[in-house]
Every structure is written in C-alpha cells, then in structure tokens.
C-alpha cells in the first residue's frame, strides 16, 4: 500500500531540522550541513551524484532505502532554492545541477506561479500555488500507487504532521547541537496525533528512529 512518508530527514539532538539564516552559501541554514554528515559520507549519496566510494553499513542502508518505492516528492520553496518573491524567468533550477537526485515528479509549494521545469534524469518540478492539500493530491496521482515522500523543509513536514497525513517518518538524529534554527516538533503533540516510535537503530554517524502513525 502506498504511503506518505518522510525519509532520511536529519535532525539535531536539540530538535532542529535546519539551521538559521538560509542563503545561497548556506542552503540548509548556518551549520545545517553538520546535520547531514552521516548521509553525505554514504555510498548511496556518492552514487546519487555520480561519484564512487562512500561508506557502507547501517547509515548507507537507511540512505538507500529512503529512495525505495518513491513515486513523487513534495518540497517547500526553501528546499528548492533561496530565491524569494516572484520567479525571474527560469534562471534558478534548484541546488542540484542539471540532473537532480529525484528522478520523479516533484511538487514545489510556492506563492508564485511558474511553468513546470523539466530536468534531465526524469525529474520534473511542478510549482503548486494553491496549498499543501493540492500538492498532496497531485503528488499521489503522479505517484501512481507508489509512495509520496515529503522532502522538507521543516515547515512543510510540520504541516503534514499536524494534520496527520504522514504515515511514516524516518528521522536521523545527528550528534549535533545547533542551539538555533527551525524546530521540527515545537507545539506538535505527536502522541495525541497517533504517532509512536516503532524502531530505533544506531548507525555509524546517526541514530535512526522510525515513527509510524497507528
């Protein structure tokens, strides 16, 4: 059965899913890359970017599994790029170069309309201006029975969590204390919404926690 899920989402020990002050030089916020060291060292990450090498083991297993059976993605505008306000043509095409790592339809939440952006490798970005529910409906249709992965950022995950629309969430807790940034769970009562931890696995550079909705 298809799921709406979060996978391989890195979070600090003090609960932040991104650092503060995102800009072109800090796409994940200041110190945000520290959260993702476990992922960027894996063989799965290297392969995704056309490189060789990388670590194997538990972290790599979770990194690879995060892409299994994904038929569509949903991203917030900040995840797509640091551009604010109306789009200026199609000059900004994401952080990932000509071949983004998604290889599926990707639905980007934004307040400003833009034509679909077709990239190499099977990724097409669709820009959704009528809200999260519309994005989820479109993503489910595009996924054609496969899973919809909520890629982030934090505010997008918080929305779908708060309305109970995420079925499964894999969080990678990195041994980092950010002190500031975007908190993932602040003000959200996961237990009341029916979520429970179902599995915890220590990896080489992160602790992996699977949270499911009953």
Instruction: Dump the DSSP string for 13-63.
Output: TTSEEE-SS-BTTBTT-TTGGGGGHHHHTBHHHHHHTT----B-SHHHHHH
Tell me: pLDDT of 23 over 90: no
Average pLDDT over residues 122-128: 97
The pLDDT value recorded for residue 144 is 97
Q: What percent of the chain has pLDDT over 70?
A: 100
Model confidence band, residue 149 (pLDDT cutoffs 50, 70, 90): very high
- Report the chain's mean pLDDT, rounded to a whole number: 94
- For tokens 């307040």, the residue is 111
CA atoms within 13 A on the CB side of 89: 1
- Model pTM above 0.85: yes
Q: Greater confidence, 147 or 29?
A: 147
Report strand pairing: 207-213 vs 195-202.
antiparallel
Distance of CA 193 to the CA centre of its chain: 21
For 174-200, write each residue's pLDDT tens digit.
999 999 999 999 999 999 999 999 999
Q: Where are the alpha helices (DSSP H) in the chain?
A: 37-40, 43-48, 58-65, 77-80, 132-143, 154-162
The pLDDT value recorded for residue 27 is 85
Tell me: pLDDT of 54 over 90: yes
Model confidence band, residue 106 (pLDDT cutoffs 50, 70, 90): very high
Q: Greater confidence, 84 or 12?
A: 12
Average pLDDT over residues 133-147: 98
Q: In angstroms, what CA-CA distances link 78 with 46, 66, 94, 142? A: 24, 21, 10, 22
Write down all domains in the chain, each with its CATH number in brackets.
4-213 (3.40.430.10)
For 82-103, write each residue's pLDDT tens digit.
878 888 877 888 888 889 999 9
């Amino acid at each position: 059965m298809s799921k709406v899920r979060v996978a391989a989402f890195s979070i600090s020990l003090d609960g932040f899913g991104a650092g503060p002050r995102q800009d072109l030089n800090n796409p994940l916020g200041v110190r945000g890359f520290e959260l993702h060291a476990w992922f960027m060292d894996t063989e799965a990450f290297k392969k995704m970017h056309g490189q060789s090498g990388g670590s194997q083991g538990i972290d790599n297993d979770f990194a690879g599994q995060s892409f299994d059976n994904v038929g569509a993605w949903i991203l917030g505008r900040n995840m797509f790029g640091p551009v604010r306000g109306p789009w200026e043509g199609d000059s900004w095409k994401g952080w990932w170069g000509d071949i983004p790592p998604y290889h599926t339809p990707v639905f980007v939440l934004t307040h400003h309309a833009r034509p679909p952006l077709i990239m190499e490798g099977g990724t097409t970005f669709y820009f959704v201006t009528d809200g999260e529910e519309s994005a989820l409906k479109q993503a489910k249709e595009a996924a054609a029975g496969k899973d919809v992965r909520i890629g982030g950022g934090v505010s997008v995950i918080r929305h779908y969590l708060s309305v109970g629309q995420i079925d499964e969430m894999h969080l990678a807790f990195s041994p980092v204390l950010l002190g500031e940034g975007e908190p993932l769970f602040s003000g959200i009562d996961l237990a009341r919404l029916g979520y429970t931890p179902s599995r915890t696995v220590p990896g080489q550079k992160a602790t992996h926690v699977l949270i499911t909705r009953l």
